[in-house]
Structure 1
Amino acid sequence: MMDVLIVGAGPTGLTLGIDLARRGVDALVVERAQELFPGSRGKGIQPRTQEVFEDLGVLDAIRAAGGPYPVRMLWKDGERLGERPMFEPVAADEGTPYTEPWMVAQWRTQEILHARLLELGGRVAFGGEVTGLEQDSEGVGVRFADGTAVRARYVVAADGGRSAVRRAVGVGMTGETVDPSPFLVADVRVRGLDREYWHAFPGADGTGVMLCPLAGTDDFQFSGKLPEGTEPEPSLDGVRELVAAYTHLDAEDVTELRWASDFRPRAALADRFRVGRVFLAGDAAHVHSPAGGQGLNTGVQDAYNLGWKLGAVLRGGAPEALLDTYEEERRPNAAAMLGLSTGVHRGEVRRGKATVQLGLGYPASSLSEERRAAPAGVRAGDRAPDGVVDGVRLFDAFRGPHWTLLGSTTTAAGVRSLPAAPASYGPGIFLVRPDGYVAWAGDTTTGLDACLARVGRR
């Protein structure tokens, strides 16, 4: 019996596979399709996700594969109306080295994550369609369409908004339609447009199309909002017709279609993120409007939260109750991100400080313990900022599956100690979780051992 079966080889499933592989957990990623997803859909890598990818050893490849977002250029009747910035600027400082989203086509992000997983000895099995499962007190049996079956101690559903695993465990989703209009998104080759701008061609009735040069490729991502009641045609002819109708380009200027999909934006949240030994993550747990670039990133955060907890229970001697904190922490967080995505889609929230995910944390979590008499600066539950202590960059110190103690020493296994925290943290001693959040903060070490014991470090 394997430790963990991850269903779905999207960014969420691959991220979780990487995190488990570096912890020595026996995990298999299984994907219904015969290959990795071929489209650009989730193309925005938010700053907090860049920090996660740095820890997992893929950020250099991610940065090399993409580029910054271009400025939006508005058009009307074949004339340029002027530039419109896509994002409000976020100031960089020592604690936040990445402040801008990085554009990488989703297919390329998945290739990079897949290569890293294989490098760490992980596995992906393609062509495995889940048809049912049963669980008991020891594990979960999963059946596939080809008649085979496997058994794992835990199963993670990372198989998208139409998750077969979520349906198999009877978890519903509560949500709303974000926009009644149909949308079409596609990866195309286009001639006659420069690649300096994200070109927007709004219609008079609230519809319109955009053509965004995909960094690191020769493609453009086409996105179109169509009139209510129409049916998008995800084909070369369908895209050509819309480009000819909304822009100054001719239909033949769209020379190639590489991928296309139609959808109606909705926001939905799974009623539960855990049923026994089955966990929901990514789109299987929350479905976002693509506006604001929150969906893929929230899924990566799910995986990063769950990975260290599964590793602690399976390899670190932590109590099984630690896994309850996954839903406790991630479901409210996902709900907040859904509200944010919907707000961006409807023009109520600007892209910028609210969407980069650097302010996310778990201050209300049962794992967050603030024991200082007069806390200042960073608090328990907050993201642990970058900085330098004794010539050591904190993000370098945090990198890996261990915990980090700032301001004291400990003999606890799997905990790295540094003599102090940067001044930006405020006074105190800080215990940083493997996923880069402060678990415990105190004026002295009183209570630290008890905190470590709760997570299997004592």
Structure 2
Amino acid sequence: MTHTAPSDQQKFDVPVVIAGAGPVGLMLSILLSRQGIRNIIFEKREQINTMPRARGINVRSVEILTQLDLGEELRRGSLPPTWARQFVYTETMAGELIGIMPGNMGPGMAADHSACEYRVAAQDRLDPMLYAKARSFKECTIHFNHEVVDYVDNGSAVTVRIADRSAPQEVAPLGIRAQYLIAADGGKSSLRWSAQIGDAYNATYRSFVAARFHGDLSAYSNGREGALIWTLAPDAAGVFHPLDGADNWSVQIQYDPNSENPDEWTSEHVIQRIRRMVGVPDEADLDIELVKYYKYTLTVSVADTFRKGRLLLAGDAAHRTLPHGGWGLNTGIHTAHNLAWKLGAVLRGVAPDALLDTYNNERREAALRNCEFAKVNAGYIEKMMRALRESSSVEERRRIVASSKQYGNWIGLDLGIHYEGTEGPGAFVPDNVSPPPVSNAVIEYVPHAKPGWRAPHFWARTAIGNHRISAVSLFDQDFVLLTGADGHAWISAAGELNKGHKPRIQPLRVAADGDLVPEAVSFGDLYGVGPTGAVLVRPDGHVAYRAASATQDVLQDLRTALDCALGYQTHH
């Protein structure tokens, strides 16, 4: 198999061009820059996003952001914990309380399985963090008012045409030669259209009016704090999204398409609908400062392929999912995390271009799974809302809310993120050990280390320095080999492989006298290995290989496992 050697990079203007400075494009830039890989982002807008849009950042995404040293800043910019731990259902915000459903988003809810917590932080908080972080690297350049309008892939390089949107129309687009082009240019990606990449999955659902506004609603929200505050009254149906726990809000206003045309709504009309959802009379003194409103249609799609030659799709250009459960942004973050280490390995010359095929296979599998979850969740919510509207008593509505546990509880889908190879071979060596059974894979999580799955968290002390760390914090830019107490043969094998032209493996013996001393957990039971066994974890924290015990040829088997994780070999 061919691969691009580092010396080849001098033939290109830049290794990677990224179209789009949304959260996924910025994440990719950061992750590539950390590997020393130069990249240029072209964004057609004048600035980064200023609207809240997506809000829920799941635990796995927070783990990734924490590795980028953004965890504390994210915590400060998130919704206060009092608001984040539950969903609230009312007739109107000021009206009758129907019920409260605790979720897995509150403080400490994931403490058994992660050092991080779910955060409710809208994109107008997250995007500036990512932008500042991306700009802090010398490897990154960002151009606003510049749009990637087309590209030509000649097999060994891609020539990208860039239009300066602030220049006169007669100015010809600029041409840049790169090794790879990443289309992170949104759900209406012009690059995906240009590449004639279709949909493997596409569906359109209901529309609503989204609005952002400022207003002091504390007199009505006190005692009803929630990450979502649903209003169920027939003429005031919708959901409030608190953005800061104070006076910054977004709202989704439901409407009847048979009798209402939101395209004709004025600002005053939107404000009146918001007041109706709050539940205050027309004469009440409630000042609503409307920032922006627009009609939004829920669409789900997954591209036929996430790569075509040297074009790689990411974010909404690759997959769009419903907002129910917050999986649009999170799927994009996980996609960036998967792509960045693989593209980095290819560009550094330690992996063949074929490794990028596993990006397509793994992330399409995850996107299809998340879209199916969002579709089921949306149907579940619609069914619940219909039952609430048709219920005949407050007691009946409360029983319906009490049975809505799946909506707001999805730790199984969050920390159980995994790849099985259903869309093609992945960058791991499958084993024949079944994952632990659960009755509901969305809301239940049982940690384990089956290849393809996120390697589970456990607390440990380091032999050097006696630092208390989560094992997840180790799975960052290197491959990590965790062995049992008697895994010395694996440690030696990793040392031998580190002498060659391969990515570095960090070998760690997990034992009372080892490199990592686990706290209150049996590493062998958690990871499914014996004292002589070992687990190889990829730079994105997914298990690449597991051996329950020492094999007959540890060095050769570890070399083969690494080759599979790098795309030199495939396992079906």
State the TM-score, normalizing by the size of structure 2: 0.74
Give the conservation status (yes or no) of the 8 Å contact 1:21–1:120: yes
Paired residue for 1:379? Answer: 450
Q: Residue 416 of structure 1 is aligned with which of 506, 513, 516?
A: 506
Give the conservation status (yes or no) of the 8 Å contact 2:544–2:565: no
* Cα offsets for 1:362-413 (capped at 9, x unmatched): 2334322146999994211111112234535244652541111111421224
1: distance between equivalents of 2:215 and 2:365?
41
- The structure whose Rg is larger is 2
Give the conservation status (yes or no) of the 8 Å contact 1:48–1:356: no
Change in CA separation of 1:360 and 1:104 when aligned onto 2, cut-off 3 Å = same
1: distance between equivalents of 2:349 and 2:246?
42
Give the conservation status (yes or no) of the 8 Å contact 1:243–1:249: no
Matched to 1:80, the amino acid is E
Instruction: Judge which range, 4-13 or 136-145, deviates more.
Output: 136-145
Instruction: Judge which range, 168-177 or 410-419, deviates more.
Output: 168-177
Give the conservation status (yes or no) of the 8 Å contact 1:45–1:102: yes
1:199 aligns with 2:210: no
- SS of the counterpart of 1:304? helix
- SS of the counterpart of 1:187? strand
Change in CA separation of 1:176 and 1:135 when aligned onto 2, cut-off 3 Å = closer
Deviation at 1:200, TM superposition (A): 2.2
Paired residue for 1:292? Answer: 325
- SS of the counterpart of 1:401? coil
* Cα offsets for 1:13-59 (capped at 9, x unmatched): 11111110000111112111010111111110011111111222211
Instruction: Judge which range, 385-394 or 259-268, deviates more.
Output: 385-394
2: distance between equivalents of 1:363 and 1:174?
19
Matched to 1:436, the amino acid is G
1: distance between equivalents of 2:420 and 2:119?
28
Q: Residue 437 of structure 1 is aligned with which of 531, 542, 565?
A: 542
2: distance between equivalents of 1:135 and 1:256?
49
Matched to 1:405, the amino acid is L
1:353 aligns with 2:435: no
Instruction: Judge which range, 348-357 or 280-289, deviates more.
Output: 348-357
Paired residue for 1:393? Answer: 469
Q: Residue 124 of structure 2 is aligned with which of 89, 107, 111?
A: 107
1: distance between equivalents of 2:149 and 2:162?
5
Matched to 2:95, the amino acid is E
Q: Residue 116 of structure 1 is aligned with which of 133, 137, 149?
A: 133
2: distance between equivalents of 1:102 and 1:236?
31
Q: Residue 48 of structure 2 is aligned with which of 29, 33, 36?
A: 36
Paired residue for 1:167? Answer: 193
1: distance between equivalents of 2:203 and 2:272?
26
1:132 aligns with 2:150: yes
Change in CA separation of 1:295 and 1:373 when aligned onto 2, cut-off 3 Å = closer
Root-mean-square deviation (CA, aligned residues, Å) is 2.7
Matched to 1:157, the amino acid is A
Paired residues in the alignment total 455
Deviation at 1:158, TM superposition (A): 0.8
Paired residue for 2:244? Answer: 215
- SS of the counterpart of 1:369? coil
2: distance between equivalents of 1:171 and 1:259?
33
1:341 aligns with 2:358: no
Q: Residue 71 of structure 1 is aligned with which of 83, 86, 89?
A: 86
Paired residue for 2:286? Answer: 253
Deviation at 1:168, TM superposition (A): 1.2
Pairing 1:171-182 to 2, within 5 Å after superposition: 171-180=197-206, 182=207
Deviation at 1:288, TM superposition (A): 1.5
Deviation at 1:253, TM superposition (A): 2.9
- SS of the counterpart of 1:258? strand
* Cα offsets for 1:74-123 (capped at 9, x unmatched): 3336523243226257953554234x531101111011111111122322
- SS of the counterpart of 1:117? helix
Give the conservation status (yes or no) of the 8 Å contact 2:26–2:131: yes
Matched to 1:384, the amino acid is A
Q: Residue 402 of structure 1 is aligned with which of 453, 478, 481?
A: 478
Q: Residue 369 of structure 1 is aligned with which of 424, 429, 434?
A: 429
Give the conservation status (yes or no) of the 8 Å contact 2:428–2:564: no
2: distance between equivalents of 1:84 and 1:213?
16
Deviation at 1:124, TM superposition (A): 1.7
1: distance between equivalents of 2:476 and 2:201?
37
Deviation at 1:294, TM superposition (A): 0.2
2: distance between equivalents of 1:274 and 1:313?
14
- SS of the counterpart of 1:430? strand
- SS of the counterpart of 2:288? strand
Give the conservation status (yes or no) of the 8 Å contact 1:267–1:338: yes
Give the conservation status (yes or no) of the 8 Å contact 1:5–1:155: yes
Matched to 1:81, the amino acid is L
2: distance between equivalents of 1:250 and 1:39?
29
Paired residue for 1:426? Answer: 528
1:308 aligns with 2:341: yes
2: distance between equivalents of 1:177 and 1:308?
31
- SS of the counterpart of 1:347? helix
- SS of the counterpart of 2:380? coil
- SS of the counterpart of 2:270? helix
Matched to 2:428, the amino acid is S
Change in CA separation of 1:373 and 1:266 when aligned onto 2, cut-off 3 Å = closer
Matched to 1:314, the amino acid is L
2: distance between equivalents of 1:215 and 1:86?
19
